[in-house]
Amino acid sequence: MKLKLALASTIFLTIFSGNVLAQDIDAGRLLFGVCSACHGPNGEGLQALNGPRIAGQQAWYTIRQLQNFKSGARGSDSRDIYGQQMAPMAQILTTDQAIKDVAAYIESLGS
């Protein structure tokens, strides 16, 4: 009985500990390597490649924009030159977790 309880609580903790959903800034830092090519090493922006400053942007906003680029809600119009540069980059972030991680890292760049 005790063993079963211990097992059940271990499984419960593994699933609900939040590890699966929490953002991971270190993972985000690795992902940001690609982004830095256009947004600058610290997200400060890079005019030569049209990358706007994104450092310190709040994560909820970044997450929303990355989802919009991925779904095509943003950056799919042929007249939207800058959006079209960014849209394929959002596809690199294949999971919601990756989007959360990179957004958390970008937010941390502001401070």
Shortest distance, position 107 Cβ to ligand HEC, whole Å: 11
45: number of Cβ within 10 Å: 15
Q: Return the number of the residue (18 or 33) whose C-beta is nearest ligand HEC.
A: 33
The region of 3-11, 16-24, 58-66 touching ligand HEC under the rule CB under 6 A is: 58-66
Q: Return the number of the residue (12 or 88) whose C-beta is nearest ligand HEC.
A: 88
Between CA 84 and CA 99 the distance in angstroms is 19
DSSP string, 37-88: HHH-TTS--BGGGTBPP-TT--HHHHHHHHHHHHHTSSS-STT-HHHHHHHH
Contact residues for ligand HEC (CB under 6 A)?
A: 34-35, 37-39, 49-52, 54, 62, 65-66, 82-83, 85-86, 89, 92-93, 102
